[in-house]
Amino acid sequence: MVASSPSDAASGWYPGVMAPQAEAKKGIKSAYERALERMESEGIERPREEAFAPEVLAAMEDARKRAEAKIAELEILHKGRLRKIRDAVEYATAEKEYQAERRRIEEKRDRDVATLRRE
């Protein structure tokens, strides 16, 4: 479809094809924003990240970064190990071990962050 005037084309407005960009941005909400609105409509106060002390926020970030580094190391070692494996059964076993170890690291990270949140 062709814009009705040059100014329409410049603004990104094409009748019948798409909404103006300002309206599109205004109308689209993330799941988080929708959940916050639902909480407010039920009378529940919004969660505030600033409620945590700066030391606690730094400790949470540190726990996340340590877990991320461990996962990256695990992934590098796992890929190297997989390159050497030729047996399908051994390959599947290595993959299961990798998934279990990754899940263990992620669960430890989540426990550490949850503990820090309660402090």
DSSP of 32-51: HHHHHHHHHHTTPPPP-GGG
| Most confident among 13-17, 35-39, 42-46 (mean pLDDT) | 35-39
- Domain identity same for 112 and 77: yes
Report if residue 30 sits inside a domain: yes
Report if residue 1 sits inside a domain: no
Pairwise CA distance, residues 38 & 45, whole Å: 10
Report if residue 112 sits inside a domain: yes
Mean pLDDT score, 90-95: 96
- In this structure, what token pair is assigned to residue 88? 């399908």
Question: Does residue 104 carry a pLDDT above 70?
Answer: yes
Provide the domain limits for residue 24.
Answer: 6-41
> Residue 80: which pLDDT band, with cuts at 50, 70 and 90?
very high
Pairwise CA distance, residues 46 & 83, whole Å: 48
- Domain identity same for 36 and 56: no
Pairwise CA distance, residues 54 & 63, whole Å: 14
- Domain identity same for 15 and 72: no
- Domain identity same for 108 and 58: yes
